[in-house]
Each structure stands twice: as structure tokens, then as C-alpha cells.
Amino acid sequence: MNARPDSTSARPLRVGLIGYGLAGSVFHAPLIAATEGLVLSAVVTGDPERQAQAEAEHPGARAVPDADALWRRADDLDLVVIASPNRTHAPLATAALEAGLAVVVDKPVAGTAADADALAELAERRGLLLSVFHNRRWDNDFLTLRSLLDTGELGDVRRFESRFERWRPKPKGGWRESGDPAEFGGLLYDLGSHLADQALTLFGPARTVYAETDVRRPGAEADDDAFVAVEHVNGVRSHLWMSATTPLLGPRLRVLGSKAGYVKYGLDPQEAALRSGARPGDGTPWGEEPESAWGTLGAGDESRPVRTLPGDYPAYYAAVAAALRDGTAPPVTARQAADTMHVLEAARRSAAERRTVTLEQ
């Protein structure tokens, strides 16, 4: 992979951000601004209020109305981050790569597995970085589980249960809950992108996929309650739940191994911190949670609390900056993101056809 900027230069890498809604303003812009070696140079949004918000929150950034303004000044940028609605991910990523720019795309990378594969191939052909913002790999519970797997405390994992559940009896509306197939909305592609990526990262390729999806709430248009079962090539079974219709939440993680199990409740605190205006490096501990929220490791009648490692979303953009400087692989590769899309697409087909789908290896 070719590093676009001069790897010997001390100049910050200039970032253009497309989209300043929830993803752009709460996640990407603050994390970019907090990353040494990156500078937010431009923000694309056609909304005048969001333009003013972006320039007020990031005084060094210039607000522009459309992506064409970025492509016309591609030489002034080193990286484009796409945080716009799902239906725009593939077209905008394609345009950025064809303009010679490295790209980070919010999840899902594309609306179809074929588009995801095509983007990966284009990036490889152009020798450009293409990464996908699967930030949940840096959640505190995920990092803690990886540590337990690395030390062998669980033994051989047999089942991995993972949930992103919410209680939202009334739809909020917007493109994420739209029933228009062109929007690629619904929880399977939204929260399911994170859950599938985590399962594949931990336990490797999927052999089969079975799924159930439902539209439960009055007035809802897109799937708001889904379950996906993945059998991995190595024999581990992942059971993944995503729901907006859960009045009592289940454990965030329950992992069952031959030696012990690990159970963890509650969400990583980083999203709530970013939404409240906290920022990495502002002097307060980042990604920490109280002892009362720690998970439990044990077997039978014996168990003990396990300290939750701090969550670390800033690590994603730090790794992107290092990859751009050094030409090394990004923290999430385009091929990994395409693998996730193949699982989600198989899940959608499984739910529609009421059968188990076998993936090609």
C-alpha cells in the first residue's frame, strides 16, 4: 500500500470529513481532532446550521456544501472520512479513491457485499488506504474479552453471545429506520455491522449463517428486532442479537468456554462521553468504567469480577495515521469489512428464505 503523504514529513495529515450528523459530529470529528498527526481541514454538509456548528467546534476546518468541492481540491487533502448516510458510502468512497485519496468509511462500508468487494479491489488497484470505522473493536468489553482469550482463561470457546439491545418503543424516524431498500436502513445493517465484525475478528471466517428479522413496532418500516447465528469455520458458534424492542436488556456479552465463562453487562462509556461533549485528552480518564460495572469470570459456583480494560476509540485514528505515514495495513481493512457484508447479506437472505445459508470459503 502506498502512503500518500511524505512519510518523513512532520506536517499533519489533512482530513476532509463528509457528513456532520451524529456520526460526523459526535464520533469522527472529535476523534480526528484528538489524534496527533491529523488535522480536520474540511467538513462537507449542505445544512447551513451544521456548517456553522462545524466551523464553531473546529475553527481550523472549512465547511463546504458538497463532496465535489473536496474532489476539486484533492491535492489539499490526505484522507477523506465518509460519515454520510449508508446509501452514499459506496459512491462517495469510489469517487474519493478515483481522486487519489485515502478513505475511511463509516460502517457498513457499502449496501451490498458486491459493492464492498469492488471498493476493496479499487483501493488495492490504486494502492490507496481504505479502512472502515468498526470502532466497536475498541470497546472496553471487547478489549477485555480479547485479553481473556489471549491468556487462555476461558479455554476453548464454544459459544459467543453478543447483544446491542435498546428500549425504544416508538420509532425515531430518519434514514436509519427507513423502509426504502435504497437506504440500507434497519438494525441488521446498523448494529449488526458491529456485532458481525466483532465475531469475525475474534473467531474467524463464517461457514454458515441463520437469521431472523422482524419489524415489531407500530409505524416502523425497517427491521428493529433481529437475531443472527453464525457457525465459524473453527466450530465456534456466535449468537448475535440487535433490537430496539427490549424492555429488559440481556448481557452485553456472554462467552462460554471449556474452562470458564465470561458475562458482561452494560455498554462501553465512550459513546455517552462523546455525546456529552467529553473529549479524549481533556484531562479526565478516557474509557474507564467503575468497578460496579465489571464483568464476571467463572465456572460453576466459583466466579470473580474481572477489571474491564479502558475503551480506546482514539486508537483507531492513531492507527490510521500510522498506516498513512508508514504504508502499513490499516486497523480495519477493506477486505475485513467486505467479509462482514457477506455475513450480513447472508443473514438477510436467511431471514427472507427461512433457511440456513452456507458461505463460500
pTM summary value: 0.94
pLDDT of residue 185: 85
pLDDT surpasses 70 at 3: no
> How far is C-alpha 284 from the chain's CA centre?
24
Contact, 2 vs 65, CB < 8 A?
no
**If you search the block for the grid coordinates 438494525, which residue do you land on?**
187
Q: What is the reported pLDDT for 315?
A: 98
pLDDT digits (tens, 9 = 90+) for 215-236: 999 988 999 999 999 999 999 9
pLDDT, tens digit (0-9, with 9 covering 90-100), for 253-295? 999 999 999 999 999 999 999 999 999 988 889 999 999 999 9
DSSP 8-state assignment for residue 182 = G
Q: Span 291-315, mean pLDDT?
A: 97
On average, the pLDDT of the chain sits at 94
Average pLDDT over residues 93-105: 97
**Structural domains of the chain, with CATH:** 13-135+316-329 (3.40.50.720), 140-313+343-358 (3.30.360.10)
Nearest Cα neighbor of 207 from 228, 227, 237 is 237
pLDDT surpasses 90 at 183: no
Cα gap 83→323, rounded to integer Å: 20
Question: Rounded to an integer, what distance in angstroms lies between the CA atom of residue 138 and that of residue 332?
Answer: 11
- Measure the CA angle with vertex 165, ends 282 and 354; round to 5°: 140
Which residues are bridge partners to 242 per DSSP?
Answer: 164, 226
Q: DSSP letter at 26?
A: I
